[in-house]
């Protein structure tokens, strides 16, 4: 089953996205701590797109789709425009982040630690960031 | 829920109470509150996280950007009262080893 939401590229919509992910994941038996980490990962990808790819331009939109098949969750974050390929960025270490006194990179560290796989696809003018998470233990 | 901050002084300690969600829209406010304490000559900050319901990387970054000051002793920080979900985000990044994170204010005070 796939559920989706479409929001404009405004930082205030990150809350809307978190609430949507929370409500979809609430249909599964996921421990609170794990569910929160998944919400954080989606929040990080969406905030990167909203802030860096779309400069918080509320005329632009993101679509978030969540597909669940048994114990596997697939999150797709779809936008148009210049692609922001998070898999192109090397993940800094926390030591480096702390030394630089900047928070750039923490979101990427979180996404890569939380999700099982990240795939980026450009298809007919649409950019798709696909994140996979297995709930199997 | 928007984030609300309240700073109180208790002896040498400044206590910054964080209520709500610390994320992309709200993290600058916390950074400003810390800077206000420093500008007032404060060097010991306790973060009351009892009502902190959510944190993402911009919020985490407020703390990591000051860890070196904490390690050098120019600014002492401790966090208390975090719920399990918020603590888990610090833990997955290994920050539970770099920052004092405890349950109560009384436990936090002797640590800084």
Residue B62 sits in a domain whose CATH number is 3.30.750.24
Residue A40 to residues A106, A115, B36, Cα–Cα distance (Å)? 11, 10, 29
Express each pLDDT in B33-47 by its tens digit. Answer: 999 999 999 999 999
**A73-101: b or e for each residue (b if 16 or more CB lie within 10 Å)?**
bbbbbbbeeebbebeeeeebebeebbeee
Q: Which two tokens stand for residue A4?
A: 């989706």
Query: Which residues of chain A does B66 touch, with a Cβ-Cβ cutoff of 8 Å?
Result: 101
Residue A32 to residues A6, A55, B58, B83, Cα–Cα distance (Å)? 25, 32, 21, 11
- Note the pLDDT of residue B1: 60
Instruction: Answer yes or no: do B24 and A113 touch at CB < 8 A.
Output: no
Residue A124 to residues A79, A82, A137, Cα–Cα distance (Å)? 11, 13, 37
- Note the pLDDT of residue A60: 96
Express each pLDDT in A28-87 by its tens digit. Answer: 889 999 999 999 999 999 999 999 899 999 999 999 999 998 889 999 999 998 887 888
Domains located in chain A, CATH noted: 2-134 (3.30.565.10)
**pLDDT over 70 percentage in chain A:** 99
What confidence tier does A99 reach under pLDDT thresholds 50, 70, 90?
confident
Q: How far is B39 from chain A (nearest CA, A)?
A: 19
Among candidates A39, A51, A102 on the partner chain, residue whose Cβ is nearest the Cβ of B24: A51
> d(Cα A8, Cα A60) in Å, to the nearest integer?
6
What's the whole-number mean pLDDT along residues B24-34? 94
Q: How many CB pairs lie under 8 A apart between chains A and B?
A: 75
- Tally the domains of chain B: 1
């Amino acid at each position: 089953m796939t559920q989706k939401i479409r929001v404009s590229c405004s930082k205030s919509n990150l809350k809307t996205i978190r609430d949507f992910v929370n409500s979809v994941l609430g249909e599964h038996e996921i421990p609170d701590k794990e569910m929160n980490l998944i919400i954080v990962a989606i929040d990080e990808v969406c905030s990167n797109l909203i802030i860096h790819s779309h400069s918080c331009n509320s005329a632009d939109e993101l679509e978030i789709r969540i597909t669940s098949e048994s114990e596997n969750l697939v999150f797709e974050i779809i936008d148009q425009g210049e692609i922001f390929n998070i898999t192109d960025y090397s993940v800094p270490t926390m030591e480096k982040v702390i030394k630089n006194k900047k928070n750039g990179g923490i979101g990427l560290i979180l996404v890569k630690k939380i999700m099982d796989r990240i795939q980026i696809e450009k298809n007919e003018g649409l950019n798709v960031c696909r994140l996979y998470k297995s709930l199997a233990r | 829920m928007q984030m609300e901050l309240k700073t109180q002084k208790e002896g040498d300690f400044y206590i910054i109470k964080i209520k709500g969600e610390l994320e992309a829209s709200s993290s600058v406010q916390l950074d400003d509150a810390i800077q206000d304490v420093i500008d007032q000559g404060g060097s010991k900050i306790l973060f009351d996280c009892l009502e902190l319901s959510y944190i993402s990387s911009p919020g985490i970054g407020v703390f990591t950007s000051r860890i070196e000051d904490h390690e050098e002793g120019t600014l002492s920080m401790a966090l208390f009262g975090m719920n399990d979900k918020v603590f888990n985000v610090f833990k997955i990044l290994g920050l539970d080893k770099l920052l004092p994170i405890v349950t109560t204010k009384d436990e936090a005070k002797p640590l800084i």
